[in-house]
Amino acid sequence: MELSEGIYGRRSVRSYLPERVPRDVLDTLIDAGRWAPSAGCAQPWAFVVVDEPVQIQRLKSIAPGMFSEPAFVIAVCAERQAAVQRMGPQGETLALMDVCMAAQNISLAAYAAGLGTCIIRSFHQRAAAVLLGCPDGVVPELLIAGGRPDRIPRAPNRRALDQIRHFNRWGQK
Ligand SMILES: Cc1cc2nc3c(=O)[nH]c(=O)nc-3n(C[C@H](O)[C@H](O)[C@H](O)COP(=O)(O)O)c2cc1C
């Protein structure tokens, strides 16, 4: 797939077919995630791939922002404590930035594999950490719900380039 097709064609999918996604395909998504850039190449991430229906339902119950019945959920976690130890006080913010980069890679790789995804932040992070058995200092930052798309939504409008781009100094168009 052309990179531009990935960037412009990917949508947040919230309706999936009831089909399992093979684990080797899920592994290709995590592989794309681990090739994301990260500050100092610290790679302060870990991914809990949830594909058991009962565990997906448990996650759903603590995620008001999950509107679908996905075939899988990838919990993108930050190794926050290790990041702070390695990078100092900035480590927490940097780790959050890094896991977002990984999440975008995963979303694009899923789209290229014919899957739909939706990034979800509206969930109870501490409950998710307990449910997923995350060790101390490891924080689920994003959930990525995914599966074979049933319905692909229309693209929400984007703010115009003119509204968001400034040349050299704010306000210079
Ligand atoms: C950090 C972040 C958090 C999001 N949280 C949710 C969420 O909790 N529930 C949801 O349905 N979509 C969520 N989304 C998806 C956005 O609603 C979606 O990306 C946006 O509407 C643009 O649509 P598009 O992804 O199809 O281009 C989130 C996206 C991002 C980047």
Question: Does any ligand 1 atom lie closer than 6 A to the CB of residue 75?
Answer: no
**Does residue 59 fall inside a structural domain?**
yes
Counted domains in the chain = 1
> In the chain, which ranges are E strands?
45-50, 72-79, 116-120, 138-147
d(CA 27, CA 46): 13
pLDDT in tens, 23-42: 999 999 999 999 999 999 99
**Does residue 169 fall inside a structural domain?**
no
Rounded to the nearest 10 degrees, the angle between the axes of helix 91-112 and helix 80-87 is 130
Question: Does any ligand 1 atom lie closer than 6 A to the CB of residue 76?
Answer: no
Mean pLDDT of the chain: 97
**Does residue 157 fall inside a structural domain?**
no
> 88: domain range?
3-150
**Does residue 14 fall inside a structural domain?**
yes
> What is the 58 CA–ligand 1 centroid distance (Å)?
21
Question: For a substitution probing ligand 1, which of 121, 143, 151 has the most ligand atoms within 8 Å of its CB?
Answer: 121
Question: Does any ligand 1 atom lie closer than 6 A to the CB of residue 118?
Answer: yes
pTM (whole model) above 0.95: yes
pLDDT in tens, 95-135: 999 999 999 999 999 999 999 999 999 999 999 999 999 99
CATH code where residue 52 lies = 3.40.109.10
Q: Residue 79 class from Cβ within 10 Å (0-12 exposed, 13-18 middle, 19+ buried)?
A: buried
**Does residue 113 fall inside a structural domain?**
yes
**Does residue 124 fall inside a structural domain?**
yes
What confidence category does residue 144 fall into, taking pLDDT thresholds of 50, 70 and 90? very high
> What is the 119 CA–ligand 1 centroid distance (Å)?
5
